[in-house]
Amino acid sequence: MKKNYIDGQYIEGATARENINPSDISEVVGLYSQADAAQARAAIDVAHSAAEGWAKSTPQQRFDVLDAIGTELLARKAELGELLSREEGKTLPEGIGETARAGQIFKFFAGEALRLKGDKLASVRPGVDVEVVREALGVIGIITPWNFPIAIPAWKIAPALCYGNAVVFKPADLVPGCGWALADIIARSGLPKGVFNLVMGRGSVVGEEILTNRKVRGVTFTGSVATGQHVAATCAGRLAKFQLEMGGKNPLVVLDDADLDSAVETAVQGAFFSTGQRCTASSRLIITEGIHDRFVAGVIKRLEGLKVDHALSDGVHIGPVVDDSQLAQDLEYIRVGQSEGAKLAFGGQLLERATKGFYLSPALFTETSNSMRINREEIFGPVASVIRVKGYEEALAVANDTEFGLSSGICTTSLKYATDFKRNAKAGMAMVNLPTAGVDYHVPFGGTKGSSFGSREQGSYAAEFFTTVKTSYTLA
Ligand code: NAD
């Protein structure tokens, strides 16, 4: 059994939980300890005691630790990528790619540790010097979702440690395997004991302790809107800092002048790969009428050629849905779409494969309107809708008519429309001739409106959340 990691030791939890391979539900991937609230509290106490020492560590110490973690992740990307595919269901190339990305993120923040900087300014008063520096917050609580089980923990843990914080990390219930493997690498990285702690367990138990414990000075959360709102209310109630990354209903606009083949590929990649289980997935395909029919025909032809199967099988394009309750949610939205009058132009069927798993063929709705529930609510599965519009202005208005604002995209060969879209898309990320999902690891990631709250993650912008600013005055 894989145990929790607290104060440099592996400790059994109050109970244990199996994680199941969604490609083959007869396969138990592993058995993982589940902490109770008392064990979570103990981990927070340990982190609190270790925080001050790590805040005083040198940039070289931080670089060495983060670089060692990144090196091991990259060296073991094939093995860990396979573990990821087994517990989450994305295909092996996607699992390996995500693990490599986690390694690159640690390498990036290793470099950032050497570039910690502040400002020295002249005071408005004679003889006085002013210095502005960034300091660690203290204990950071990290709560992550199941859909990127190694990359999202990496992009929260790496900056937390880089800027001198101690960490209590709770992975999502469905995917403890990647969280545990990452913790095991961190345990061997030379980090002083107590600075990083892994506490697996339920959100309502371990997560709740992280949110309410006054020793946790910052909570960085990625997950659903409903949980995010609870995180916000609880942290605000005790004046702890928090950062939220939540859902999306991301638009991809395709204009008449787009390269058809490239637009079809961009839409299919963005909407359906990783089984559509990405917060940045293109779930609303907004297509101008001159290209609409050719685009729909092209997407259907491409979907017909996609292989949906066991995540580790050869040549597979789309793995299974993550579990039975997410599958039930996807099927319910497919039913809702049909009852709203949308045309199910492709897929949306349960599939039988050699192993019993949660297989769903990618579903494409056409003849939809932006007011339908399937275009307003996040489905979080391999389901996308086509919305027909007259021209660019209507496309932009529809793209922005949503509660969310994470990613957005346009396929066009017009510099004028591409430029206008980048200026006016109400989203944290805007893509031109690229899928809405798929981003670099060294630049900010995050959204606007209902998708995100607080400062951006990733890149050097991450410092904003993981530090607090001190201004010092000296009369020499
Ligand atoms: P979720 O909100 O159900 O769970 C997220 C995490 O919160 C899990 O670790 C869970 O155990 C924990 N949690 C649950 N209840 C809690 C509580 N009361 N207190 C503290 N923690 C609690 O989300 P999920 O189903 O794991 O993930 C899917 C969601 O994540 C989707 O909405 C998706 O859009 C979103 N997501 C967003 C981004 C982004 O960067 N914007 C990235 C990936 C996923």
Written as tens digits, the pLDDT of the chain (476 aa) is 999 999 999 999 999 999 999 999 999 999 999 999 999 999 999 999 999 999 999 999 999 999 999 999 999 999 999 999 999 999 999 999 999 999 999 999 999 999 999 999 999 999 999 999 999 999 999 999 999 999 999 999 999 999 999 999 999 999 999 999 999 999 999 999 999 999 999 999 999 999 999 999 999 999 999 999 999 999 999 999 999 999 999 999 999 999 999 999 999 999 999 999 999 999 999 999 999 999 999 999 999 999 999 999 999 999 999 999 999 999 999 999 999 999 999 999 999 999 999 999 999 999 999 999 999 999 999 999 999 999 999 999 999 999 999 999 999 999 999 999 999 999 999 999 999 999 999 999 999 999 999 999 999 999 999 999 999 999 98
Regarding the beta carbon of 22 and ligand 1, being less than 6 Å apart is answered no
Regarding the beta carbon of 206 and ligand 1, being less than 6 Å apart is answered no
Nearest of 93, 102, 284 to residue 182 by alpha carbon? 102
CA of residue 253 to ligand 1 center, whole Å: 28
Handedness of CA 403, 432, 380, 149 (dihedral sign): negative
Task: Say which of 245, 378, 411, 457 is annotated catalytic.
Answer: 245
Regarding the beta carbon of 279 and ligand 1, being less than 6 Å apart is answered yes
Regarding the beta carbon of 363 and ligand 1, being less than 6 Å apart is answered no
Q: Read off the pTM.
A: 0.97
User: Which are the contacts of 16, defined by CB distance < 8 A and separation ≥ 6?
Assistant: 1, 31, 32, 33, 34
- 411 catalytically annotated: no
Regarding the beta carbon of 90 and ligand 1, being less than 6 Å apart is answered no
CA of 406, closest atom in ligand 1: 41
CA of 173, closest atom in ligand 1: 11
- 279 catalytically annotated: yes
Regarding the beta carbon of 437 and ligand 1, being less than 6 Å apart is answered no
Write out the two tokens for 401. 């008519």
Task: Say which of 98, 279, 378, 411 is annotated catalytic.
Answer: 279
**89: region left, alpha or beta (phi > 0 left; psi from -120 to 50 alpha):** left
Nearest of 28, 29, 27, 37 to residue 4 by alpha carbon? 37
CA of 445, closest atom in ligand 1: 40
Helix (H) or strand (E) holding 98: helix 92-114
